[in-house]
Amino acid sequence: MGLPVGSPMPEFSLKDQEGNWFHSNDHVGKAPLVIFFYPKDFTPGCTAEACAFRDHYEDFTEAGALVVGISSDSQDSHRSFSKRHRLPFILLSDPDRKARKQFRVENRFLNLLPGRETFVVDRNGVVVMAFEGMRASGHVQNALKAIKNL
């Protein structure tokens, strides 16, 4: 399991699918964050998860939350993935897996597949929910419940 509830969000800076820098600290004090780590663009489970976040995106934004997906895929891959599936949220490229390590998201299946974990961080920068599961289901529902409880 990754970073435990009650931990401060790690400081990280990554580029999004458009090549813009995303600095985690820029969002502390402004809005809660939903950060989901997923293994790979265009795979069936990851596509299902990303599309589930897309389908509930309005629920998150109405609650004032910012949704961010992170994988080690390139910015170009993220741009194609986002365009093909009409994803309205930010996808961050973590090629060196630094953010993944900071959030303690471990590999699964004989250490071959990057883990799938979702975190909700309140506007004060504290992790208030951590959900781990290789199946795509459950991530959106748990994150939405945590956001509504803030």
Rounded to two decimals, what is the model's pTM?
A: 0.94
Any domain includes 99: yes
* Inside any domain, residue 51: yes
| Local confidence band at 139 (pLDDT 50, 70, 90 cut-offs) | very high
**H or E, element range at 101:** helix 98-102
Within a domain: 12: no
pLDDT tops 80 at residue 150:
yes
Which residue type sits at 113? Answer: L
What's the pLDDT tens digit per position in 37-85?
A: 999 999 999 999 999 999 999 999 999 999 999 999 999 999 999 999 9
Domain of residue 109, CATH code: 3.40.30.10
pLDDT digit string, tens, across residues 84-117: 999 999 999 999 999 999 999 987 765 567 889 9
13 domain residue, yes or no: no
- Active-site annotation holds for 46: yes
Per-residue confidence (pLDDT) for residue 112, from 0 to 100: 61
Active-site choice (46, 70, 87, 140)? 46
19 found inside a domain: no
Q: What is the pLDDT of residue 75?
A: 97
The residue range of the domain holding 97 is 38-148
In this structure, the chain runs to a length of 150
Total structural domains in the chain?
1
In a domain, 115, yes or no: yes
pLDDT for 110: 59
Confirm whether 20 is domain-assigned. Answer: no
Residue 70 lies in a domain: yes
d(CA 21, CA 92): 9
User: DSSP characters for 21-87?
Assistant: EEEGGGGTTT--EEEEE-S-TTSHHHHHHHHHHHHTHHHHHHTT-EEEEEESS-HHHHHHHHHHTT-
